[in-house]
Amino acid sequence: MLRERLGHVLVAGGGTTGWCAAAALKRRAPFLDVTILSCAPSRHALADRIACTLPSLIGFQEDLGIGAADGIVRAGSGYRLGTLFTGWANGIPDYVHAYGRYGAAFGATAFHHHWVRAAQDGSAVPFDRHSPAAAMARAGRFAPPKPGTPFADHEFGLAIDVARHASMMRAFALHVGVREIPGEIGGVTLDADGAIATVDLTDGTAFGADLFIDATGPEARLRGVLGDDRDDWSAWLPCDRVLIAETNDEPMVLTTVTAHEAGWRWASGVQSGFAYASTAISDGKAARVLRNATGATPDEPIRVRPGTRPQSWRGNCIAIGDAATEIEPLEWCNLHLALSAIDRLIAMLPGRVPVPVEVVEFNRQTLAEAERVRDFLAMHYHTARRDDPLWRATAAAEAPASLAHTLAQFAERGRLPFFEEETFARDSWAAVLIGQGFLPRRVDPLVSAVPVAATRAAMARQVAAIAAALPHVPTHAAYRADQKRHLTR
């Protein structure tokens, strides 16, 4: 039984998450028989609805052999270099969290330690001015990494057109041999051992499989039947409602995230939105806030219960996306967590009957990853400085132990301790912490190996090099237009 190969996988959920799972499984493990029940995705599934994505989407698509022409340009995506945070800390200018390096290391220590020393003697310019990607983003410019220039090593995410992206992924999945079954889920039949025997459609047909992937959104139509144990994160992540307005403007290379007394608003060109705490503002008032800010009328509010399943895999069912973890879209991790779970499943593909230890290991990695994403988001609230009651309460909440450790280490000496399964690079942590004015008390002693004058000169040179090279980078709009022209030629 141990040696019996996994044969049939059934993916439930017809949103981007489900199509990504089906396409990747079939493409990367072609011996599998992959069926998708393409039921309409839940309107509460953020992984299927949020246009902003992290750089991991590009790598995911490349692993499937989907290049930029199909995966980006024809799917109508814009490029994203990062996020501009405004109003998160009183009296502090806005800051950019970009997907790339901040400064270049000199000596044995990370760049941000040198910056901290400069900040303490009053000679520092804002931290994000040392980030080439942040400079590009602020200027509305975009180019992929180009060796030999300051813009050589950044990453980028996408602002996807959600519907076009899902249909691109669907076309690809069908092309590589995924079988699609349209219909709506009526229920789930369990076998004598309590595992899923069949997923039953409303039309009465039933579908069995060796392994079921639940991509149905927060309702978790499959995995939820096997038990609903969840870790609750609401003490640290206050927003439990999300409004989305499809604005369909030109995608922005720099997404804006603006703090509000009841949460935060964002704009990505493609979409605008408002994430808020229902205790701090009514749904009706929230809709007016968004309408006034954007002119667009939002959809009904999406409900978010911040938290995760410690066992996203149980028995013969694996929950991915919102079925596994519900989290507000701050920092755009919803689809990322789903893609990461898909990659992990392929890397540790089980047999027809999973052995307990592989389920345990999968869940261990998945939970560790989700919790560090939680920490990264909770950090935004914990270090924010605003006077509104909601913000005061979240800043005062006792942080989860792993985040508390990171914060204590950074507050003391700018150290960013290592954690397994971490999504965000150290420079990302530093960009947000420093951006919100959360500065270390002391300068790392190793910094003193480089004289102050040398550091100052080097920092100034780096900033100047970025400024000098910036005008040669095309605007985001020009770059996209050029890409399109290449396709039609």
Partner 1 sequence: MPVAAESKLRVVIVGGGTAGWMTAAALTRLLPDHCSVRLVESEAIGVVGVGEATLPHIRAFNERLGIDEAEFMARTRATFKLGIEFRDWNRIGDSYIHPFGTFGRGSGAVDFHHYWARLLREGAALPSLDTVSYACALARSGKFDHPASDRTPLSGTFGYAYQFDALLFAPYLRELAEQGGARRTEGTIANVERDAESGDITAVVLESGERVAGDLLVDCSGFRSLLLGSALDEPFVDWSQWLPTDRAVAMPCRTCTAVTPYTSAIAMPAGWRWRIPLQHRTGNGYVYASAFVSDEEARRALETAVEGEPLAEPRMLRFKAGRRRRSWVGNCVAIGLASGFLEPLESTSIYLVQQAITTLIELFPERPVGASDRDEFNRIIDLEYDRIRDFLILHYHATTRDDSPFWDHVRTMTVPDSLSEKLELWRTRGRLVKYREGVFLDPSWVAVYLGQGIVPEGWDPRIDTVAPDALLRGLETLRAEIDSDVARRPDHRSFIERYCAMAQAA
Binding site for partner 1 (CB under 8 A): 2-3, 5-6, 28-31, 108, 348-351, 355, 357-358, 360-361, 365, 405, 408-409, 412-413, 415, 417-418, 420, 442, 445-446, 448-449, 451-452
The letter for the amino acid at 146 is K
Pairing outcome for strands 8-12 and 33-37:
parallel
DSSP result, 320-366? -GGGTEE---TTS-HHHHHHHHHHHHHHT--BSS--HHHHHHHHHHH
Nearer to partner 1, 186 or 310 (CB): 310
Tokens of 176: 């590589």
Confirm if 429 and 379 have CB atoms less than 8 A apart.
Answer: yes
Q: How far is the CB of 385 from partner 1 (least distance, A)?
A: 22
Shortest gap between Cβ of 153 and partner 1 (angstroms)? 18
- Which is closer to partner 1, CB of 229 or CB of 420? 420
Complex with partner 1: residue 20 or 359, whichever CB lies closer: 359
Whose Cβ is closer to partner 1: residue 300's or residue 412's?
412
Contact 380, 88 (CB under 8 A): yes
- Residue 53 tokens read as 């994505």
Closer to partner 1 at the Cβ: 50 or 116?
Answer: 116
351 C-beta neighbours (distance < 10 Å), count: 16
Closer residue to partner 1 in complex, CB, 7/187: 7
Beta carbon of residue 374, minimum distance to partner 1 (angstroms, whole number): 20
Question: Residue 326 Cβ, how far from partner 1 at the closest point, in Å?
Answer: 26
Residue 413 CB, shortest distance to partner 1, in Å, is 7
Name residues whose C-beta falls within 8 Å of residue 171's C-beta, 6 or more positions apart in sequence. none
What is the C-alpha to C-alpha distance for residues 344 and 367, in angstroms, rounded to an integer? 12
Contact 358, 382 (CB under 8 A): no
CB of 197 to partner 1, least distance (A): 23
Q: How far is the CB of 360 from partner 1 (least distance, A)?
A: 7
Can you tell me the distance from the alpha carbon of 405 to that of 419, in angstroms, rounded to the nearest whole number?
11
Select 147 or 284, whichever has its Cβ closest to partner 1. 147
What gap in Å lies between CA 35 and CA 244, rounded to an integer?
Answer: 31
